[in-house]
Amino acid sequence: MNPAHAFADPSEIKSFGDLLKTHAPHGMGSDLYAQVCQANASKQSLDMLVMALDIRKSTMLMKEAIRFDLYAKTVGGYIEYAEGLVRSQGGWFDKFTGDGFLSFWLVSPNSLADTMHTVLKLSKNLVDRFNVAVIEELRRNTKNMPRGVGVGIGIDVGPGYIETFAKDISVLGSPVVGAVRMEHLCTEPGDLYCNVFPGHVIQQNSSKFNKLLRLERCVMETKEYPDGQEIYKLVLL
C-alpha cells in the first residue's frame, strides 16, 4: 500500500473526485478517473500537454465596450464554445482566467504525437472561430478597436499535478509555467508557440503534421531566460 494513501481522508478523495467531473473530458472512463484520483492521493505527477490561450487586448476591449453585458456575452460564449471543444477532444478544461483559459491533456510516450495533432487541430479551430465570428461581435460593441485583437496560444509538455485549490481543482507544474511563458511571447493575432520538447515531437513526426502547420525554430528572450531560449513558432496552414 502506498504510504500516502494511509493518510488520505476518504471524504477528501470523494470531494476531489466530484470536482474532477466538472473539468474532465466528456465520457471520462472509470480507469482515467481512478488514475487521476490515485495520483492526487499519492501526490504523484501526471504527464500532460498544457495549452494556454489568451485573448489579446481583452482588457482594452472591455474598457472600450459600449455595453458591458454584450462584451461579457461575447467573450463568455467563446469560452463556453472552447470548453465544449476541449472536453469533447479528450482534454480537461482547467479554468477561465479573465482573458483566456488553461486546458490540458494527459499523455503517454505512445500517445503524445497523436494528442499533439489533436490539440493543434483544435487550436486552429479556436483561432478561426475567433477571427471569423467573435471579432465581428466585438467590433459591433466597441467605441475604439485596438490593433492586434485576436488569440495567442502557448503549448508545453511535462509532468504536472491536478490539485485542489480554492475549493476547486487546478493544474500545476512546469508545463503550466512553460505554456503560459510561450503564450506571453505571442504578439500578433493567431500566434502559437511551443517549447523545445513538443517542437521536437512535431519534428520527429513530421509526416503527421506537415499538412497542418509549418514549424519555425527561433530564439526569443523570456523573463526566465533574458539571453534568449530556443522555442518553436507553429504557423498553422
pLDDT by residue for the chain (237 residues), tens digit each? 343 443 455 555 568 888 998 999 999 999 998 999 999 989 999 999 999 999 999 999 999 999 999 999 999 999 999 999 999 999 999 988 878 999 999 999 999 999 999 999 999 999 999 999 999 999 999 999 999 999 999 999 999 999 988 789 999 999 999 999 999 999 999 999 999 999 999 999 999 999 999 999 999 999 889 999 999 999 999
How many domains are there within the chain? 1
- Asked whether residue 38 is assigned to any structural domain, the reply reads no
Strand (E) or helix (H) holding 160:
strand 150-165
Domain that holds residue 130: 11-24+44-236
Q: How many other β-carbons are positioned within 10 Å of the β-carbon of residue 169?
A: 23
Q: Is residue 6 part of a domain?
A: no
* CATH number of the domain within which 101 lies: 3.30.70.1230
Look at residue 5 and tell me if it is in a domain.
no
**Residue 110: inside a domain:** yes
Asked if residue 151 is part of any domain, the answer here is: yes
| Residue 73 three-state SS | helix
- Residue 33 counted as domain residue: no
Distance CA(216)–CA(195), nearest Å, equals: 12
Q: Residue 97: what pLDDT?
A: 82
Say what the pTM is: 0.92
Give the Cα separation of 172 and 45 in Å (integer). Answer: 10
61-72 confidence digits (pLDDT tens): 999 999 999 999
Query: Tell me: the pLDDT tens digits for 125-181?
Result: 999 999 999 999 999 999 999 999 999 999 999 999 999 887 899 999 999 999 999
pLDDT attached to residue 88:
98
Q: Left, alpha or beta for 34 (phi > 0: left; psi -120 to 50: alpha)?
A: alpha
Within 8 A by CB and 6+ apart from 84, the residues are none
Question: 94 lies in a domain?
Answer: yes
